[in-house]
Structure 1
């Protein structure tokens, strides 16, 4: 699985001015690598939304997720 993202994902901030972070995103992807690309997209966006409690963000949040299917 390949996850490409803008810094708006990892720099999304919550009410305590804490960032979502590269580490949090990496852990989320590692724990859920079994998901399909669309499921992973939904999961990441939901986690960012939950983390920020829906607060408006000052940067775009863009994801491109690719997952290779098993050949054969």
Structure 2
């Protein structure tokens, strides 16, 4: 996966989470996703980074949703 492809996948992650959590501001979702993405910045195998980012971001965002 190229860097451009990875960034496109990350944008799609933001879009999916924005749709899934409409009560959370998109800016907050972007911040969580970019933070999760930065966590994997030094990984050598990039193929699964978008999946791992989405999973980590979703867990953090669920903690923001009032129960």
Q: Which has the higher contact order (CA 8 A, sep 6+)?
A: 1
* TM value normalised by structure 1: 0.46
* TM value normalised by structure 2: 0.48
Q: Normalized per residue, which structure has more helix?
A: 2
